[in-house]
Amino acid sequence: MEKKIAGKIYKIFNDKGKDIGICFLEAFEILKNYTVNIQKVIYYFKKLKSEELKLAEVISALELSKDNKEKIEKKILEKFGKNTIVIFEIDNSVLGGFLIKVGDNVIDETIIRKINDIYL
């Protein structure tokens, strides 16, 4: 759990255009919903910052089932290594399908991309 929370917080602070105060408020918002070992969260955050760990973001329009999350996470760890933290996010603009971001790698299986492939 601490790894995933560290990943979410890392993503917040990695948003280049965001005010640092807003970043802290968003991080506290995440932390207040969990009972976690804050030292472990900090440890994993530092590992992400030093690039010893990678962050994989899976973005979908709807909440994925536990089974689908486990399958996707397994495939990501096989492809990018065990030193990858996988977080799942919901974004209504995706409409359907999913998007996976790991560093500069993007796997785009969204409906929008498929429509654009057909018409562009």
Residues of the chain short of pLDDT 50, as ranges, are: none
Give the pLDDT score at 70: 95
Give the pLDDT score at 60: 94
Tokens of 110: 């969204």
pTM given for the model? 0.79
Tokens of 30: 């995440």
For the chain, the residue count is 120
Beta-bridge partner residues of 100? 58, 107
Q: Which residue has the tokens 């992400």?
A: 48
Tokens of 113: 């991309």
Q: What is the three-class DSSP state of 65?
A: coil
68-103 pLDDT per residue, tens: 999 999 999 999 999 999 999 999 888 888 999 998
Give the pLDDT score at 78: 95
Compute φ and ψ for 78, nearest 5 degrees. -65, -40
Give the pLDDT score at 74: 95
Give the pLDDT score at 117: 86
Give the pLDDT score at 112: 85
Give the pLDDT score at 68: 94
Give the pLDDT score at 1: 80
Report d(CA 48, CA 44) in Å as an integer.
6
Give the pLDDT score at 37: 85
Query: Which one, of 28, 33, 86, lies nearest residue 57 by Cα?
Result: 86
Name the H helices within 1-120: 2-14, 20-31, 38-49, 66-80, 111-119
